[in-house]
Structure 1
Amino acid sequence: MMRTPFDLSMIGRELAFASAVDDLGAALDRSASVVVSAPPGTGKTTLVPPLIANRVPGRVIVTQPRRVAARAAARRLAQLDESLLGSRVGFTVRGERQVERSAVIEFVTAGVLLRRLLDDPGLEGIDAVVIDEVHERALETDLLIGLLGEVRELRDDLVVVAMSATLDAERFATVLGTDADPAPIVTQTVPAHPLEVRWLPSPTPRLDERGVTWAFLDHVASTAVDAHRGLVHTDPTADALVFAPGAREVSEIAGRIRGLGTEFDVRELHGQIPAAEQDAVISGRSPNQPARIIVTTSLAESSLTVPGVRLVVDTCLSRAPQRDAARGMSGLVTGPTSRASAIQRAGRATRQGPGIVVRCVDERTFAAAPARPAPEIATTDLTDAALLLACWGAPGGAGLRLVDPLPSDSVRDALAVLHGLGAIDADGRATAEGRQLARIPTDPRLARALRDGSALVGARTAAEVVALIGGEIRVADGDAAATLTALRTGRSRDARRWEQEVRRLARFASPADGARTTSAERGGTDQVGLVIALAFPERIARRVDHSPNGAAFLLASGTRAGITGPLASAEWLAVADVTRAQGRAAAGTGAIIRSAAVISEADAEQAATHLTTDRVEAQFVNGRVVARRERRIGAIVRSSVPVRVHADDGGRDAARRAVEEQGLGVFTWSEAADGLRRRLALLHHELGSPWPDVSDAALLDTLDSWLGPELPNLATGMPAARIDLATALRRILPWPAAVDLDALVPERLEVPSGSHVRITYPPVDDPTARPVVAVKLQECFGWAETPRLVGGRVRVLFHLLSPARQPLAVTDDLASFWAGPYSQVRAEMRGRYPKHPWPEDPWSTAPTRHTTRRAAQK
């Protein structure tokens, strides 16, 4: 049955992008991959999907970076198509779906399509994917581009279109196509409405150790009211848009504006308010409603249009994910908005006519901001992405054409987390457990807490805690259990949204037989800590210091973090959120615990079984091994008692760990051992295999292979200084190649005088240095050919010495030295050392290590 095509002339009647329809059609005739670049507000999100739908037999999927944008775009297109929402145009976002089988166009978030790809890699019944707002460089959007590239290798009929308002078009064209044959680019420009830029910096700092300052929020609120009052005198239909970094600041600014007793309708717009309230804000206002001041996060920056806006007030602050590799933590960090994002924000004021932007900074501060936001792929935690890629069959992104490669250190940390969850195997491939976790639409750690927590505390309680810690709900005083109580009783403004998330998550919770469901449903607060610990076992923490300024806790990961308030007196905590910060709240640790719950030591051990150890640990004290039996959860020492160790596996392992932790500096390196190690290092640098790597890192990684027999002796008390390291190192000589050791790198070099001079080989960690022979100049008379080592590959560097063994010259070309610089050395030295030979012709003089008289006597 033929379906009715979309009426592009009706849909695009008032849209500027209508002028580019023919260009896009021509591009699609040439290629199944196209890049579209057009300014905000031109209508590309509304017009491109139906244009493509008229060309393909299957469904068109359109991705948006945010749920509110996906819903708004679907409603707008359905309205212009004069069809019921869901019948021909629908949407699917997390927790909400309005789309029928008959739908031709479906708007989704990128995360929804990514998880759909895991179930249906071939995208059966889907003939086109439009990826909108790719310039925002959201992690899920970047991953989607890479995965769709692989899908198109199997389905060359699949149409893929990338769209953005501000876009590095050539770069995306290369990724969607190839270096030799990039995807065609369709651009469309429209004359910009005039924009008046005003600068009104705050007299007080925007940020302090706790985040955005109250004084700055006061300044933003009063600035918005004053600017809007001035505007509505000339344009009563004008609305204002105020950009704040996060939901908390949105609420604070909105509250301050209301507190000024204004005549405006003050609205909030961010991802944490109910969907109906979001949709009401972006649907505009009727003529009889008062002018609006809409306080928003970056949600309104580029992916949707808020009608009626003529004024933008910009804090020039943004909140973005940031990973702290040193402390093993990640979270949202507030900082300066990039200039590109600030320009996007200002453009909200000129979508429908002339506008004004008031920036709450001075021009110098604005100019010092980053030029553009960092791609999320480079700054955020990659655990969820790494699991998705492992399920796809591309561990770490191997083989995918990505806009930017995944940072190797972030991938390494993510894979370590997934391995601890049992989600991937040793090769990085997804396990059956990992595939189950990937189908729960949340972070893998939260998915694990939901599944395992359901069996321990009941499905409802597990879902409640996961909805709390995964839902960007502000936790007062860092006390997650108290916040959960407020949510349960409806005393929190987030209660309704939280309850919706609980119901959604509960569908994925499946407590095992025998779960503590009955006790769990009573909602004991101690169970909050257990569920948090299941999600983040590496963040189980024990108090290590307490002062009037708060308490310092040591996390199982080894990070120290501070907390103030009621939880500061707890012995053990399960930490849901910790972030880098300074000030009193950090208790001198450099990090603050923002959300946690009390946990018992027994529950901490249960949640972190893979981090729990009970073994002998050792360290070198005054050159001898001292051992203790320690019970640990990661870096947290639960108990430690001195023990006498024996030369068994336990003692040997403890000695090995002590060497690994404290390094090779615990040993006394004899001249023979140091010399052998240097010689082997040169062979490894020059020849590679089979000659072994003898760097500190390599030797510490292979202790058993060369120091194995000595480890039991160290464990039972032998001083480290008595270990014969030269003998130990000879164990890793590669046989039969080792028979050539002395020929390739001899210990000594015979010089023309007959002396055998020790060769000083380069330091192990300096592959550019040269072997050095320091010898009296007179012992080398007549020596023209500079010796080479390592089978002729490495020239010896000569330090030619005076009779007092002071350096006179450094050369690796003896022939050139005798022919040139020697004459000047002779002129300066023969008067100072008259008893030693300084012939005019060094070529014909016999080399000697003696004075002239003794040489003549011989």
Structure 2
Amino acid sequence: MLAALPIDDVLPQLVAAVRDRRVAVLVAPPGAGKTTRVPGALRDAGVVTGEIVVLQPRRLAARLAATRVASERRVELGGEVGYEVRFDRKVSAATQIRFVTEGVLTRRLLSDPELRGVGCVIIDEFHERHLDGDLALALVARLRERRPELALVVMSATLDAEPVAAYLGDAAPAPDGAPAPIIRSEGRVFPVTVEHLDQPDDRHLGKQIAGAVRRIAQANLDGDVLVFLPGAGEIRRATEDLADVAATFDLAVLPLHGDLTVDEQDRAVKPAKQRKVILSTNVAETSVTIDGVVCVIDSGLARIARHSPWSGLPSLQIEPVSRASCAQRAGRAGRTRPGRVVRLYTKHDHDTRRAFEVPEIGRTDLAGAALELHGAGLAGLGALRWYEAPPAVAAAAAEELLARLGAIADGTITALGRRMLRFPVHPRLGRIVCEAEGRGVAKEACVIAALVGARELRLERRGPQGAAKISAPSDLIEDLDALLDARSHHLRADRLRRDGLDIATAHTVDKTAKQLERIARDERPAPASDEDVDRELQIAILSGFPDRVGKRRSPRSADIVFAGGGSGTLAASSAVVDAELMVAVDVAETGARGAASRVQIRRASAIEASWLLDLYLDRIEERDELVWNAQKNRVERIVQMTYDGLAIDEQRDVEGARRAGRPAAELLARQAIAAGIEKFVDRDELAQWRARVTLVAKVAPNSGLVAPTDDHLAEVIGRACEGAISFEELRKSSLLALLDAGLGEHRALVDRLAPTHLGLPRRRRVEIHYELDQPPWIASRMQDFFGLARAPAVGDGRVPLVLHLLAPNQRPVQVTQDLPGFWVKHYPGLRKQLMRRYPKHAWPEDPTALIDGER
């Protein structure tokens, strides 16, 4: 006789809903028993004909749920009840209840759109809103238009049920237009005491957990403790920190996460005589129920699935979980009796968190889903009626990437795209392996694909201070060599530690690579030498990242310019220190909050320009043009080959620019005009010439002379640039003489009406100063003007000069245009002062009389 569970009370309602409407939404709290009891109830009631497929968000949950259901139904696992997850399955022809991960069902739907032999699909824990879950829901809803007898049940603990019920109702409309039935199980909730920190704890997370477990153990702990941590790395460190507490209170510290072996997972889940402290990732948050847990310690953190906007590859980032997840975790403490929850964060922290996680469809890369839909003959992401449609920008980016990878053409999947679908990895990685198959290096490429999707293998290269100790053409091939060497020593922990490799990452990569190797097939023999193998692998890596090609700004510079625009910095953790061209495989965006982010390339792989020609000739352009070398201030002819706008080969020819003739002169002229004509002539001489010509144009308006404009000056520069290619040559061309010559017949008129010098009674030549919009002026000693009754003038006497009369020490005494008035009004008084100050100089009473004396 099975133990009663809260879900049992509503199973008749669910059976009726499935019988009558073929769709239903079930909401039940954690531990109510929905995962283990619903599939059997539907089968036993006879309302489903065919196999019942139950979707689980995680591999561990699928296996444990199948094991639990098989045990309850007293059948062997793999018989009536089985499971199928990525690279692992335990099913048979007799299997009628099959627990699968979401991706497995998606692939089955795409390979067998009719789901032959399946009578019901149950999507469990839908509130987690994984992309594969949304895709499965949309595909099954679409299938029900052709197979209305196919039952569909959506289950969750914290779901907003009404929108889902409306969606299912639209997919299977009732005669009265009603949404799908909603069945709710209130569960059996025991009181749970929730404790928060008074203030944030800055200690290492493992130390915080050890302290919390010690306090709980001292309070007469009479059951097991479930601790939620972000990931396997934090679990390992917490295990070390708990060693003393475990020894003191006789506690068994057991890890629980998806990368453990089946036996290790079972030890954490199954009852034991010794009290357990189970260190778990969020796999224990839903689906997995662990009997005996009386206390939950919640770090409030998880590794949340994100994706790199750079590569589209998935990544797990440690982030605070939502309030819904906090509630899910707390519910694990009150399943069978009153419980206690210790949250390692403050109540204010909890209350200010987001209510739910953002669905993956709104924050993850969609290229994989789009390729799968194309593989099923659908027109991409837009062909489905989604519960929540993907962002248009993300959907367009997915299609563009698939086209770049050669997986689709004109909106239809290609033969290469179908080959890529064989591999349950991101399309970029599938493209790498497919390319490698054709080059005889598939096995090695499978390892590289696994490495790209994992954390950095070498511990020395991790973190902000990470640095490579060697130089190599490819970070991925360096890691490949390290892993292959580790394999030859059976991945022994001591050997991995000696080589500075992360143990968990090495095992994860090895496992994934072997799974891919079972699918891959070389299409030709392996290359003969290691150098040839590396070359073929580098080309394969390029095929997965054709849109991430970069080039150094200068030899050995860390600054990288990318094809298509943008730039980044090669991190010290990359060993690719010499290659000029490369693909950026692993990139992080850095920068303070609110500041512009910077692209940092953590892993790269060198390429050669000839490979781009071989693989992507359609994206290659040749340019033969004149360019301006800003550093050398000259015109150069450049013959350039570009890939998506990035120069991958370039030759510069200076004399070729000279042979170009007029186009080179025009480019030089544009640069010279932009720089300003003052760079090529004396600034004062140019201003003087321009003011003289402007003055003559004003005083002789009928002469036809026009005051020089900027356009006129530009024309002169253009003539001066003929035959020249550099600023240096332009400076030697005497632009002022060209300006003068450009006056033509007006040159003599300018010299006559606006002379550059004039003579005074006691001085042969005095320079006349001209300024725009100011009267011309001269400056000389007062004695030089003795003998003049009137001020000198230019412009045929129409423009009197301003006279700067200087004392013998060259300091101004008077500035005037009225020389007769000065002689009469001011000179007599000044004469007395000057005679006392300069007695050796002659100071006549009548300054208009020319006198002999010193000059």
TM-score (norm 1): 0.65
1:469 maps to amino acid:
V
| 1:227 paired residue among 208, 212, 227 | 212
- Return the offset for 1:595: 3.8
- The answer to whether structure 1 residue 422 and structure 2 residue 431 are counterparts is no
Deviates further, 335-344 or 604-613:
604-613
| 8 Å contact from structure 1 (residues 231, 238) kept in 2 | no
- Return the offset for 1:607: 6.3
- The answer to whether structure 1 residue 150 and structure 2 residue 142 are counterparts is yes
Deviations 1:186-232 (A, max 9, x none): 1101242222222237757xxxxxxxxxxx5x532222222222323
- Return the offset for 1:344: 1.4
Corresponding residue of 1:265? 252
- Return the offset for 1:109: 0.7
| 8 Å contact from structure 1 (residues 454, 461) kept in 2 | no
- Cα distance change of structure 1 residues 293 and 82 upon mapping to structure 2, 3 Å threshold: same
Corresponding residue of 1:832? none
Corresponding residue of 2:230? 245
| 8 Å contact from structure 2 (residues 441, 536) kept in 1 | no
- Return the offset for 1:88: 0.7
| 2:341 paired residue among 349, 357, 368 | 357
Residues of 1 paired with 2:300 and 2:613: CA distance?
45
| 8 Å contact from structure 2 (residues 444, 480) kept in 1 | no
- The answer to whether structure 1 residue 484 and structure 2 residue 491 are counterparts is no
Structure 2 residues not aligned, in runs of 5+ = 463-474, 497-502, 657-666, 668-855
Corresponding residue of 2:368? 384
Deviates further, 429-438 or 337-346:
429-438
| 1:192 paired residue among 168, 189, 214 | 189
Structure 1 residues 452-851: aligned runs within 5 Å = 452-471=435-454, 474=457, 476=459, 477=461, 479-488=475-484, 489=486, 490=491, 491=496, 492-513=503-524, 515-519=525-529, 529-544=538-553, 551-556=558-563, 558-565=566-573, 567=575, 569-571=577-579, 572-582=581-591, 590-599=598-607, 612-616=620-624, 628-634=638-644, 636-641=646-651
- The answer to whether structure 1 residue 58 and structure 2 residue 35 are counterparts is no
- Return the offset for 1:384: 0.2
- Cα distance change of structure 1 residues 462 and 45 upon mapping to structure 2, 3 Å threshold: same
Corresponding residue of 1:404? 388
| 8 Å contact from structure 2 (residues 257, 265) kept in 1 | yes
- Cα distance change of structure 1 residues 242 and 95 upon mapping to structure 2, 3 Å threshold: same
SS in structure 2 opposite 1:365? Answer: helix
| 8 Å contact from structure 2 (residues 26, 183) kept in 1 | yes
SS in structure 2 opposite 1:567? Answer: coil
User: Kindly, what percent of the aligned residue pairs are identical?
Assistant: 33
CA RMSD of aligned residues (A): 3.6
Deviations 1:529-574 (A, max 9, x none): 4443332232344444799xx9343444535244123526243544
- Return the offset for 1:525: 5.9
Residues of 2 paired with 1:408 and 1:444: CA distance?
20
Corresponding residue of 1:125? 117
| 8 Å contact from structure 1 (residues 192, 350) kept in 2 | yes
- Return the offset for 1:464: 1.5
SS in structure 2 opposite 1:433? Answer: helix
SS in structure 2 opposite 1:223? Answer: helix
Deviations 1:454-480 (A, max 9, x none): 222522111121122234565531644
Corresponding residue of 1:435? 418
- Cα distance change of structure 1 residues 390 and 189 upon mapping to structure 2, 3 Å threshold: same
Structure 1 residues 277-288: aligned runs within 5 Å = 277-281=264-268, 283-287=269-273
| 8 Å contact from structure 1 (residues 540, 604) kept in 2 | no
Residues of 2 paired with 1:382 and 1:123: CA distance?
23
Rg bigger for which structure? 2
- Cα distance change of structure 1 residues 595 and 193 upon mapping to structure 2, 3 Å threshold: farther
Corresponding residue of 1:722? none
| 8 Å contact from structure 2 (residues 405, 543) kept in 1 | no
SS in structure 2 opposite 1:189? Answer: coil
SS in structure 1 opposite 2:357? Answer: coil
SS in structure 2 opposite 1:464? Answer: helix
Residues of 2 paired with 1:605 and 1:299: CA distance?
47
- Cα distance change of structure 1 residues 505 and 614 upon mapping to structure 2, 3 Å threshold: farther
Deviations 1:343-370 (A, max 9, x none): 2122222223222222222222222221
| 8 Å contact from structure 1 (residues 576, 596) kept in 2 | yes
2:353 maps to amino acid:
A
| 8 Å contact from structure 1 (residues 613, 633) kept in 2 | yes
- Return the offset for 1:78: 0.5
Residues of 2 paired with 1:447 and 1:581: CA distance?
28
Corresponding residue of 1:32? 22
| 8 Å contact from structure 1 (residues 487, 494) kept in 2 | no
Residues of 1 paired with 2:526 and 2:404: CA distance?
25
Deviations 1:467-509 (A, max 9, x none): 2223456553164444434433122344444333222211221
Structure 1 residues 445-456: aligned runs within 5 Å = 445-456=428-439
Residues of 1 paired with 2:234 and 2:251: CA distance?
19
Corresponding residue of 1:85? 77
SS in structure 1 opposite 2:408? Answer: coil
Residues of 1 paired with 2:600 and 2:236: CA distance?
23
Corresponding residue of 1:773? none
Residues of 2 paired with 1:172 and 1:438: CA distance?
30
Deviations 1:38-73 (A, max 9, x none): 001111000111112232231111111111111001
- Cα distance change of structure 1 residues 251 and 454 upon mapping to structure 2, 3 Å threshold: farther
| 8 Å contact from structure 2 (residues 587, 601) kept in 1 | yes
1:105 maps to amino acid:
I
| 8 Å contact from structure 1 (residues 560, 589) kept in 2 | no
| 1:320 paired residue among 290, 296, 304 | 304
Residues of 2 paired with 1:617 and 1:323: CA distance?
41
Residues of 1 paired with 2:31 and 2:221: CA distance?
22
Corresponding residue of 2:318? 334
Corresponding residue of 2:807? none
2:227 maps to amino acid:
V
SS in structure 1 opposite 2:277? Answer: strand
Residues of 2 paired with 1:619 and 1:163: CA distance?
65
SS in structure 1 opposite 2:385? Answer: coil
- The answer to whether structure 1 residue 371 and structure 2 residue 355 are counterparts is yes
2:521 maps to amino acid:
S
Structure 1 residues not aligned, in runs of 5+ = 1-9, 205-215, 647-657, 659-858
- Return the offset for 1:174: 1.3
| 8 Å contact from structure 2 (residues 110, 373) kept in 1 | no
Structure 1 residues 280-319: aligned runs within 5 Å = 280-281=267-268, 283-287=269-273, 289=274, 291-319=275-303
TM-score (norm 2): 0.66
- Return the offset for 1:136: 0.3
